[in-house]
Amino acid sequence: MQMAFTRPTLAMVWLGVVCLLTSMLSAWYVTQQPWLGVTLRVSDQGDKVWVASLAPHLNQSIAPGSQLLRIASVSGATLDLDVTDLIEEPDFFDTYPEMAKFFARQSMLASLLRDGPVTLFWRDSFGKNGQTAMMPGARPLTSLPGTFWFQMVVGFAALLLAAWVFLLRPTYWSTRLFALTGLTFSVATTSAAIYSSRELALPGDVFRILSSVNHGGAILFGCALAGLFLMYPKPFVRPRTLLWLPLVFSIWWLADALRWAPDQNWGSRLPISLELLMSIAFGLMQWRSSRHQPLDRAALRWFALSSLVGASLFILTMYLPSMLGWFSPLPQAYAFAFFLIMYLGIALGLGRYRLFDLDEWAYRIWLWLIGAVLVILMDVALLYLGLDHSMSLGGTLLLCGILYFPFRQWLWRRLVKRREANIEQLLPEISKITFIVDSAEQEAAWSALLRQLFSPLDLKPSQSEVKSGEVLEDGLVLQVPRCGDISAQTLKYAGHGARLFSSRDAQFATALCHLMEGMMSGRNHYELGVAQERLRIGRDLHDNIGARLLKLIHQLRGSPSADVARDAMKDLRTAIGALDAHPVPLPDALADWRAEAEGRCETARCQLVWNQADDIPVFKLTPRTKASLESVVRELLTNALKHAAPDCIDVRTHIDPLSGLLSLSVTNRVAAADPMTWKEGYGLRNMRSRMEELGGTLNIDRDAESVQVTLSITLT
């Protein structure tokens, strides 16, 4: 079976081969330098060179721990050793004359070792002087220190990651600049790996060239990083404008390489620090520009975290101490590892080009990093104040536990700006939504809840049939599935556009929908049981009570009691209709009430005046509302006919189409007694109770010639 490589894969394979060959060539050059087999270190006081260990073939010819004084060749050339000969990075020196002296001593040492046998003069820990003759030989590959391989791995890992991102999107200027940072970084680490892994010396000219290459790689890396912030995520300048960066800083690097600058601070440290400040400034410009673009801001957040943290930590541990005249707290070989933070982070960000779930990790890592720095600084401060190690560490942990961790939790909530949903608060709201009868109101309530939870800039129904919450368009859109009769919803730009939707949001939306569907299923079963029970009660009333009343009406035909039985039969039918009926339009209900009122007034030989507008809004009455209002109207007519004995009853109805307020008044033209002297009996109390249950009112007004009873209720 033949394996076919895609072009990016093949390019990565070839680049990996080039990296391997470069590592082998660098290792070969280092092993070609004369080797004594003596591991040398600088004393803690920084005043002498001492022997840390010897290669096995030397048979302890020099006691470990002895001070190495000088080296002499067979020709008689002698050179006293100085602690500066073991300096790993020539950037330690501030002035160019100091660097020139260092490179000159390196040339002298390298020449001594190449002349043949040498004599090492030493003094042991007891003050006894001695000398040992040695023949420098070829350096074995196994003697290369771990720092050599570490720098090689870090440099080429960064190059491979940068190239991988570039090959995924070769037409983007952001990935081109990112690839350039990987190339320049690997140049800087490779040159540093060669000269920092020497046993004692390299030829001075070679050392100076490697140091200049290291500076050039670092300066061009800073140019690429600043250009990257100029072009990502929003290009601020035209691509050709970027050429000014390498043009200006290449001239600066040339001034450093040719020793035209006043000193190291101006030649190499200042341009690199300036490039970092430019990157930070351009990053702030990008942050401001993306304030209404949550997707770009999320990508920028992770991008800025990765690149600026990696570069800043390297400069703080390597260049800043040198500018202040301090020793670096970390060997440069290990400080290069800070850049892996940058390359791994940007590989995730630019490789996918969108981040969504990673934006919160950026905040978390910032807080973790701040906490780690604070612990170190606080521990150093307590040691400086005179506490011993155990007391300072305990005090640091105590202060961090009391002050920092509560502050970090508060700051996390402020940064994320996301209110965690409380299930105790959501359950009543969801329960309320599931019991809304009107489908439009139910969907509006569900939309309001989603707005409350996710604060989207846009929310609208969707026709897509998704079974679970889904994040689309790299975090800009959240698709909420259908819940029963409520249609699926599409939410855009979470947190009023300040953040992206995450997979956690999708899971939470899915859980909400499952909860809604479960409650809706329970409500449907409940309503089905209620409907079946109402149907049974209605049938029992119709078949049993209704049949007996009908038989009674036939038996009392022609007598006054027959009217009472007929009224009871009407009430029974109204009650049965309320149990098993559909919503009734208001005009139809008014027509039923008017027909019944006309029949009763005609029987009582009383004139009925029914005033009603022609264009009545079509509000729908639920069966219960219709039955309750019908009973109240019937009772009003009964009271008017029974107690007032009027010759005319005036009924007026009015409905406000905007508010839905229905007013129905019944007026008697003749009052039998002063209503102020009336005592509320069962019928009046029953009417008031019915109106209160419906959210309405019942009012009685009297003047010299009439009594008016008005019922008012808002129909929704």
Boundary residue ending a domain (137, 154, 188): 137
Residue 442's contacts (CB-CB under 8 Å, 6 or more residues apart) are: 433, 434, 436, 485, 486
Token output for 182: 């990987």
The CATH number covering residue 705 comes to 3.30.565.10
Asked, for residue 74, whether it belongs to a domain, the answer is yes
Domain membership flag for residue 283: no
The span from the CA of 26 to the CA of 320, in Å, is 29
| Structural domain ending residue among the three candidates 137, 155, 182 | 137
Give residue 70's pLDDT. Answer: 92
Evaluate whether residue 690 is within a structural domain. yes
Mean pLDDT by 10 residues, the chain (716 residues): 52 88 95 90 84 80 86 89 89 90 94 90 88 89 89 90 80 87 93 92 94 94 91 88 93 94 90 88 86 72 72 69 59 75 66 43 53 62 62 62 63 54 70 78 87 85 81 81 85 74 82 82 67 64 58 63 65 60 78 82 84 82 82 84 77 86 84 56 79 88 80 85
| Residue 136, both tokens | 């420098």
State the pLDDT at residue 74: 85
Give the structural domain span for 51. 33-137
Residue 356 has φ and ψ, to the nearest 5°, of 15, -75
Domain final residue, candidates 107, 137, 167: 137
95: Cβ contacts below 8 Å, ≥ 6 apart: 263, 264
Quote the number of domains for the chain.
2
639 Cβ contact list (under 8 Å, min separation 6): 683, 684, 709
Which residues, in sequence order, are CB contacts of 363 under 8 Å at separation 6+?
A: 301, 412, 415, 416
Dihedral of the alpha carbons of 259, 261, 267, 273, in degrees to the nearest 10: -170
Query: How far is 467 from 480, CA to CA, in rounded Å?
Result: 9
In CATH, what number is assigned to the domain containing residue 48?
2.30.42.10
Estimate the crossing angle of helix 204-231 against helix 96-114, to 10 degrees. 130
Residue 89 within a domain:
yes
Pair 165, 214: CB distance under 8 Å: no
Length of the chain: 716
The span from the first CA to the last CA of the chain, in angstroms, equals 74
CA distance 352 to 9: 17
pLDDT value at position 685?
A: 81
Q: How many CB atoms lie within 10 A of CB 160?
A: 18
- The closest of 451, 401, 447, 453 to 425, measured between CA atoms, is 453
- CA proximity to 62, closest of 143, 121, 144, 127: 121
pLDDT at 191: 94
d(CA 243, CA 434): 63
Please check whether residue 57 lies inside any domain of the structure: yes
- Please give the model's pTM, rounded to 2 decimal places: 0.57
Does 591 map to a domain? Answer: yes
The radius of gyration of the chain's CA atoms, rounded to the nearest angstrom, is: 46
By three-state DSSP, how is residue 337 classified? Answer: coil
C-alpha dihedral sign at 239, 241, 243, 245: negative
Residue among 653, 675, 672 nearest 664 (CA) = 653
Residue 464 lies in a domain: no
Q: For residue range 513-569, list pLDDT tens digits in order.
A: 888 887 777 766 666 666 666 666 666 555 556 556 655 665 666 666 666 666 666
CB burial of residue 168 (10 Å; 0-12, 13-18, 19+):
middle
Q: How far is the C-alpha of 474 from the C-alpha of 295, rounded, in Å? A: 8
pLDDT in the model for residue 320 = 62
State the residue for tokens 């680490």: 189
Q: Which tokens belong to 542? A: 């119709």
Q: Return the closest-CA partner of residue 627 out of 564, 580, 562, 680.
A: 580
**Largest Cα–Cα distance of the chain, in whole Å?**
154
Residue 468 lies in a domain: no
CB distance 208 to 110 below 8 Å: no
